[in-house]
Amino acid sequence: MILGVVELIAGCSLFAGGTFGRIVGLIAASLGALGALLAVGGAYPFWALGAFAICIICIHGLVVLGEPEEAH
């Protein structure tokens, strides 16, 4: 329950443009990705791979958040 509240606060921080949300989001998505990789050998391996993919997409989005776009 406490982790959910912390992640909710981090999400609000992301909407406001704060760095706290990026850091907490990266940590949560990294832990989720590790947990999903550990679950690949379980009963639902494709579900775990899907969760891993979503975590990687979240990590990528948080890393490139706010980078200036290149002029073409």
Which class for 41: exposed (0-12), middle (13-18), buried (19 or more C-beta within 10 A)?
A: exposed
The tens digit of pLDDT for each residue in 1-48 reads 787 888 888 889 989 988 889 999 999 989 889 999 999 999 999 999
CA 3 vs CA 9, 44, 71: distances in Å: 10, 25, 40
Is the pLDDT assigned to residue 69 strictly greater than 80? no
What's the average model confidence in pLDDT over 42-68?
Answer: 91
Q: Are the C-beta atoms of residues 33 and 48 closer than 8 Å to each other?
A: no
Q: Are the C-beta atoms of residues 30 and 57 closer than 8 Å to each other?
A: no
Q: What's the pTM?
A: 0.81
Is the pLDDT assigned to residue 67 strictly greater than 70? no
Is the pLDDT assigned to residue 56 strictly greater than 80? yes
- Both tokens of 56, joined, read 């990687």
